[in-house]
Structure 1
């Protein structure tokens, strides 16, 4: 039987996409961790420093998840050194009493976990920081050994950074900007095709490039992206990339609307979409090159201005259908313009002058990094944030474990907290599912370690040779095989390392198994008591709240634009601030639901439950927030009153659309189990407000007619998005009745 060939089980295992990165990580841990350990243990005869060098390097090599290349990771790894020294100092000094050590554990676990909301660089080091506090906060209380501990830790952390920099790099996941560039390119192709069709020169029978658009957009979902590459931070790069994705989703939705309502040729609109496609291609170049190369001023800005002039000139003679088409095309082009601006800002360009005002979607680019980071921390400082829930759950579990270890006076209490930390998941079911393999793996490792101790006895050379093999193979192959093998490898690693510091004892494997048992049960209890359903319940609540906020926002913006302040000079500042506050509330809710959805896709529940249309549920919010911001930027300064009957029609339409949003939210809240109520489709091109606008051509100013068309197109766009949600929910309900599992 061939055990090592390409067709063998090992060969198939090594061909997995995650095999090479995992082997690289294991080699990193072996060279950095054991290299520093052997240097201090056998060359300098400093066993205490050697242990801290090992535990300074292993958390960084095995548990850190930092974005970028080795060169880019060097900075964060070295910047973690002062924090590591501070945490070891705190753990050493607080180890005098169980209550002080537990209190410190709570603070350290919560702060290090919660700071991860600022981005993957901080979040990727959270586990390492917790372990740096864990190791010295157990007896013996030895403040006089603090110097040795800090010296060993510094050697281990510096060695880890050095080895990472010099080691073979290995394959990296594609940067998020590249995934976005592919999606933007696909949208540009789609936009150009729609332009040809509304110009009357395209092939009406050719299908739109939906496959590529859908595939590339799906690849940009945060839940599909490697954790270090997710744009969840407060930096300009992450904020800009996040905005590019949101605007792209809105733009594609608008292109879908245009392509489903093609009529007579519209050359002006086709020309603007062509320029929009060119702008998207330029934005894709910026994303791929990480450099701002687009000319200034942006040609799309000039195209939008020219289209606006032509639109004003022709608005009195336009049919209701043409009024809506012009409005949707204008909104699409404006979204493309904002997308290009977000891409520029992501790579260091200052926002152009129009986007520096209060209420601008790019206001964040005019404030410093500390302010942006503070906004992100404040956003998630709520029990409704899954990131806050995770931090609090981990802090309670680890602090409780530390109190229990102190109360029971368990030897090797560090292993109890290590087990709690490694087995605690974001939901009770996932934690429970991890316990069985962990106990089995630890038991298997304890048996093998016991046999090794019996055979090798007190012969350090055996453990010296065995440790590198255990670390490299255990953490290189083990994660590919599952939790059982990782826990077995961890148990063997601890035994082979401690046997080189103190005489080996059969009691060590036994205590290791008992400590994992205690730590796993503590983690299970914490997961059961603190938000046991993980992100599933919070996702539903957040999505429903987001849809309800969108409903309220669309009504408020319509009221604001239909009935502007009578004295603009005195009310403009207050109105602008109110507009910004209104959109910020919806945007905050959107970011909370995005975080919940991203976590939900990593949990077991997402693989068991029928998939609700979460992305579609958020799409109506994208249209509300993104389209609303565009409307306010275009028309907030307008003071000309609309004809009363048109304003009444628009306000009534906004109320109807808001009811649609709330009804869809209720359907999502009940997971599609409620029977749908009768509803009309999205209003036709000759809807009431457009028909009334055409009837008032000789009265209102052209700018008022444009506002009517833009508002009507925005509201019907939200209705279009909620209709898509309802259709998927209807299919899901029908599938349940027929015993079929529909997944979006």
Structure 2
């Protein structure tokens, strides 16, 4: 067994011990201590639902906190399920509505998504006959006891070491940015190899794929959104510091050298203040987030006479660095202080800062309430399958019908290929488990003491081996476990194993049908569609921003409609990418395209457009004059570059779109300094926009590189093979 395999078994064994202790203690307490089969059943399945069936990310203490907060929701589900079980049609209707709601709650982040299957089971269990509202008290007592025992087990049994919070990762990145700014502010005005490597490592540490699920800022609230933007701003600041060129030689070529060095020192101080704020140090006396705003304004207002193109381009790059530092400080303030920091941050960039939590959750839900959202697709698929399973179980009076629903819940996948594979393995495992169970029940008969003795070892083995070995082993071992449980609740014969096989067969068939009918290709196709739509929205934003800068100037700093469309496209693309990473069986195709680079290009377009459209800094002109239009020569050069960026975005979107058949020739990769034709005499606004568009081309080159690699490596017809550099684009994985 390799190191990874041993680690997987060790982690599974820890989780298995916790769920076994919690479920077994509650089951034996009520069954043999108080003689209540109802409370015993609910105590056992409550612990199993949120520890065995669910995969709540985080350490034991983090999961314990999550389970504790879910107890009121568990009460509500048990109560509603108990009373809706009065008729089959009410139970089916409840399953349709509540099943959708519990599946759709995954839009709230990894923790709600991980808990959703367990909550589904807590509702499934009481929604079956007999209709017995008189036992509601026992059901609630058993549920509460099982969940409280699970909380204690998660918190105190073999606790894992704590993981680094995302705030600490962002604080470390800010400290690294301070180090970079310090080196760039003194001779030789360049980063040392060690500092450059540290900057790259700090930026990589903030990538969601490198952060434990429980630490990712994926919530809908102001603090969570602010923390997510803090990480993005920190990565942006580190990247810009790493690409900042040194001052051109000769004092006459860079008349603003002192102002530039003062700005870099201010960026370093701001980064240090941000790190202290993220680590819990008292904030500044003034409510405004600290940042190099004054130094940025001084550099922007400095005269440009005598400055050469290299100096003007460096000035634009320095202003980009200062902007990233300001964004980092503002985002960190929102992450730490929430809405208290809202009056001091720009509303366009941080559109959510002044909204209350219910409104933000409504925005999150409405942003995913459509057929293009994979969260919506999963919720519809799950609720329809569960409602159908409940209808079949109720109309045919299927014995242990909730087993069929459990099979539907656990075996339905987001792609038909994965569903077919899981069903095949599950049926084989269930059949083997049923044969073993039938033999045990035939030999032991009604001697419940034997079942009680072997239950805990079998349960421990089930939840240790099953998650590591796969669905086949899980179904085989779980079949034996549930048979041992029900053999203690009521006299059982070998036919109990037969019923278990029948239930799994019915449940898996229903899951297969709805997996085929409802979006059977999962997120792999949807992420391509969402990524293509994101790039099209970004191209539209680039064109409108360039037109405003080159033709009319900008007098209204409100968010243009194109930017709102881009923001909505970002929401859908991020949700599709999150779902893609969680789909089993898609490892070969899901990472061929650098989807995170697609998302970063969208964010960079949105934030950069807002930045270059911002009013001039103090000292450059009256605020009500807005951003003045460029001179004809500069406008023509910027228009060409904007068209080139937008065209490249559209070309890449055509490659990524799963329904695109065009085979356009790829645009040439961008070479630094080759975009603009204006040199001496161009205004500073030109260089700011040029720096933004040039960095967007660099982002697009990273996307193009990732799509070109699979075209060369994958065989013809392989999934998700595309190419946009050095060859003809493919069809986007059709």
| Superposition TM-score, scaled by structure 1 size | 0.86
Quick one: distance in 2 between partners of 1:21 and 1:181? 29
User: What is the aligned partner in structure 2 of residue 642 from structure 1?
Assistant: 629
User: What is the aligned partner in structure 2 of residue 545 from structure 1?
Assistant: 533
- The structure-2 alpha-carbon separation of the partners of 1:202 and 1:116, relative to structure 1 and needing over 3 Å to count, comes to closer
> Could you list the runs of 5+ residues in structure 1 that have no partner in the other structure?
1-8, 569-574, 694-704
Quick one: distance in 2 between partners of 1:644 and 1:118? 48
Q: What's the offset of the Cα at 1:124?
A: 3.2
Please give the residue correspondences for 1:665-704 in structure 2 after superposition, counting only pairs within 5 Å: 665-669=653-657, 674=663, 676-679=665-668, 681-682=670-671, 684=673, 687-691=676-680, 693=682
**Residue 444 in structure 1 maps to residue 432 in structure 2:** yes
Q: What's the offset of the Cα at 1:153?
A: 2.1
Q: Do the aligned partners of 1:250 and 1:622 also contact (CA within 8 Å) in 2? A: no
Q: What's the offset of the Cα at 1:394?
A: 0.9
**Residue 306 of structure 2, aligned match among 317, 334, 345:** 317
Quick one: distance in 1 between partners of 2:717 and 2:184? 39
- The structure-2 alpha-carbon separation of the partners of 1:333 and 1:396, relative to structure 1 and needing over 3 Å to count, comes to same
Secondary structure at 2:613's aligned position in 1? helix
User: What is the aligned partner in structure 1 of residue 704 from structure 2?
Assistant: 726
- The structure-2 alpha-carbon separation of the partners of 1:550 and 1:709, relative to structure 1 and needing over 3 Å to count, comes to same
User: What is the aligned partner in structure 1 of residue 557 from structure 2?
Assistant: 576
Q: Do the aligned partners of 1:460 and 1:500 also contact (CA within 8 Å) in 2? A: yes
User: What is the aligned partner in structure 1 of residue 240 from structure 2?
Assistant: 254
- The structure-2 alpha-carbon separation of the partners of 1:476 and 1:677, relative to structure 1 and needing over 3 Å to count, comes to closer
Quick one: distance in 2 between partners of 1:412 and 1:598? 35
Quick one: distance in 2 between partners of 1:301 and 1:151? 52
Q: What's the offset of the Cα at 1:480?
A: 2.3
User: What is the aligned partner in structure 2 of residue 241 from structure 1?
Assistant: 227
User: What is the aligned partner in structure 1 of residue 603 from structure 2?
Assistant: 622
Quick one: distance in 2 between partners of 1:517 and 1:591? 38
Q: What's the offset of the Cα at 1:628?
A: 1.8
Listed one character per residue, the Cα deviations across residues 95-117 of structure 1 (whole Å, up to 9, x for unaligned) are 23333212111111110111221
User: What is the aligned partner in structure 2 of residue 410 from structure 1?
Assistant: 398
- The structure-2 alpha-carbon separation of the partners of 1:213 and 1:538, relative to structure 1 and needing over 3 Å to count, comes to farther
Q: Do the aligned partners of 2:334 and 2:341 also contact (CA within 8 Å) in 1? A: no
- The structure-2 alpha-carbon separation of the partners of 1:641 and 1:386, relative to structure 1 and needing over 3 Å to count, comes to same
Quick one: distance in 2 between partners of 1:20 and 1:719? 46
Quick one: distance in 2 between partners of 1:407 and 1:739? 45
**Residue 631 of structure 1, aligned match among 563, 587, 612:** 612
Please give the residue correspondences for 1:242-391 in structure 2 after superposition, counting only pairs within 5 Å: 242-255=228-241, 257-258=243-244, 263-264=248-249, 267=257, 268-269=259-260, 272-287=263-278, 289=279, 291-293=280-282, 295=284, 303-348=292-337, 352=341, 355-356=344-345, 358-359=347-348, 361-391=349-379
Q: What's the offset of the Cα at 1:605?
A: 2.4
User: What is the aligned partner in structure 1 of residue 457 from structure 2?
Assistant: 469
Q: Do the aligned partners of 1:320 and 1:686 also contact (CA within 8 Å) in 2? A: no
**Residue 86 in structure 1 maps to residue 76 in structure 2:** yes
Q: Do the aligned partners of 2:19 and 2:153 also contact (CA within 8 Å) in 1? A: no
User: What is the aligned partner in structure 2 of residue 700 from structure 1?
Assistant: none
Quick one: distance in 1 between partners of 2:12 and 2:579? 22
Please give the residue correspondences for 1:556-635 in structure 2 after superposition, counting only pairs within 5 Å: 556-563=544-551, 575-579=556-560, 581-603=561-583, 604-608=585-589, 611-635=592-616
Secondary structure at 1:450's aligned position in 2? helix
Q: Do the aligned partners of 2:288 and 2:341 also contact (CA within 8 Å) in 1? A: no
Q: Which moved more, 1:75-84 or 1:529-538?
A: 75-84
- The structure-2 alpha-carbon separation of the partners of 1:654 and 1:202, relative to structure 1 and needing over 3 Å to count, comes to closer
Secondary structure at 1:314's aligned position in 2? coil
Please give the residue correspondences for 1:22-37 in structure 2 after superposition, counting only pairs within 5 Å: 22-37=12-27
Q: Which moved more, 1:582-591 or 1:536-545?
A: 582-591
Q: Which moved more, 1:66-75 or 1:394-403?
A: 66-75
Quick one: distance in 2 between partners of 1:563 and 1:352? 36
Quick one: distance in 2 between partners of 1:357 and 1:675? 40
**Residue 499 of structure 2, aligned match among 507, 511, 514:** 511
CA RMSD of aligned residues (A): 3.4
| Superposition TM-score, scaled by structure 2 size | 0.87
Q: What's the offset of the Cα at 1:190?
A: 5.4
Q: What's the offset of the Cα at 1:455?
A: 2.5
Listed one character per residue, the Cα deviations across residues 325-354 of structure 1 (whole Å, up to 9, x for unaligned) are 211221122112211321232122656576
Quick one: distance in 2 between partners of 1:469 and 1:546? 51
Q: What's the offset of the Cα at 1:650?
A: 3.2
Quick one: distance in 2 between partners of 1:327 and 1:685? 16
Quick one: distance in 2 between partners of 1:65 and 1:592? 24
User: What is the aligned partner in structure 2 of residue 697 from structure 1?
Assistant: none
Q: Do the aligned partners of 2:370 and 2:376 also contact (CA within 8 Å) in 1? A: yes
Q: Which moved more, 1:663-672 or 1:507-516?
A: 663-672
Listed one character per residue, the Cα deviations across residues 197-248 of structure 1 (whole Å, up to 9, x for unaligned) are xx53547xx6576665555544443344443333211133321221123223
- The structure-2 alpha-carbon separation of the partners of 1:561 and 1:731, relative to structure 1 and needing over 3 Å to count, comes to same
Quick one: distance in 1 between partners of 2:502 and 2:440? 19
Q: Which moved more, 1:246-255 or 1:264-273?
A: 264-273
**Residue 655 of structure 1, aligned match among 643, 653, 658:** 643
Q: Do the aligned partners of 1:32 and 1:57 also contact (CA within 8 Å) in 2? A: yes
Q: What's the offset of the Cα at 1:498?
A: 0.7
Secondary structure at 1:499's aligned position in 2? helix
Q: Do the aligned partners of 1:33 and 1:160 also contact (CA within 8 Å) in 2? A: yes
User: What is the aligned partner in structure 1 of residue 381 from structure 2?
Assistant: 393
* Count of residues in correspondence between the two structures: 707
Q: What's the offset of the Cα at 1:131?
A: 0.9
Secondary structure at 1:316's aligned position in 2? coil
Q: What's the offset of the Cα at 1:729?
A: 3.8
Secondary structure at 2:582's aligned position in 1? coil
Q: Do the aligned partners of 1:241 and 1:346 also contact (CA within 8 Å) in 2? A: yes
Quick one: distance in 2 between partners of 1:341 and 1:208? 29
- The structure-2 alpha-carbon separation of the partners of 1:64 and 1:270, relative to structure 1 and needing over 3 Å to count, comes to farther
Q: Which moved more, 1:506-515 or 1:70-79?
A: 70-79
User: What is the aligned partner in structure 2 of residue 571 from structure 1?
Assistant: none
Q: Do the aligned partners of 1:233 and 1:239 also contact (CA within 8 Å) in 2? A: yes
Q: Do the aligned partners of 2:91 and 2:390 also contact (CA within 8 Å) in 1? A: yes
Q: What's the offset of the Cα at 1:536?
A: 0.9
Q: Which moved more, 1:59-68 or 1:634-643?
A: 634-643
Q: What's the offset of the Cα at 1:250?
A: 3.3
Listed one character per residue, the Cα deviations across residues 77-124 of structure 1 (whole Å, up to 9, x for unaligned) are 333233222222222222233332121111111101112212344333
- The structure-2 alpha-carbon separation of the partners of 1:539 and 1:679, relative to structure 1 and needing over 3 Å to count, comes to same
Listed one character per residue, the Cα deviations across residues 162-187 of structure 1 (whole Å, up to 9, x for unaligned) are 44344332235443334444555555
**Residue 480 in structure 1 maps to residue 471 in structure 2:** no
- The structure-2 alpha-carbon separation of the partners of 1:521 and 1:174, relative to structure 1 and needing over 3 Å to count, comes to farther
Q: What's the offset of the Cα at 1:395?
A: 0.8
Please give the residue correspondences for 1:157-176 in structure 2 after superposition, counting only pairs within 5 Å: 157-176=147-166
- The structure-2 alpha-carbon separation of the partners of 1:731 and 1:207, relative to structure 1 and needing over 3 Å to count, comes to farther
**Residue 136 in structure 1 maps to residue 126 in structure 2:** yes
Quick one: distance in 2 between partners of 1:314 and 1:81? 64
Listed one character per residue, the Cα deviations across residues 580-636 of structure 1 (whole Å, up to 9, x for unaligned) are x54333222123212212222233224246702323333322221121222334548
Q: What's the offset of the Cα at 1:678?
A: 4.8
Higher-RCO chain (CA-CA 8 Å, sequence separation at least 6): 1
User: What is the aligned partner in structure 1 of residue 695 from structure 2?
Assistant: 717
